[in-house]
Amino acid sequence: MKIVDGDKAECDRCESVFPLADVSLLEKETNRDYERVLCGECLGVVGVPRGYTLRRDITHLAK
């Protein structure tokens, strides 16, 4: 995950930068080291595959 300017993150799919409030974190249930930040549009395309969980609120990661 790339946090930019302390309160923004780069979408791992489209590589655009969004405020933390506008992105979600997709995590693999069997590998907590695997995480992908997705913007709303990319999340709509990818969805939440079986074996993954989604965190919609990651604003606690702001620095």
Confidence (pLDDT) at 41: 96
- The whole-number mean pLDDT for each consecutive block of 10 residues of the chain, a chain of 63 residues, reads 83 94 94 92 95 89 74
Kind of pairing between the strands at 52-55 and 23-28: antiparallel
Which pLDDT score is estimated for 49? Answer: 93
Residue pair 55/24 in contact (Cβ under 8 Å)? The answer is yes
- At residue 1, the pLDDT reads 67
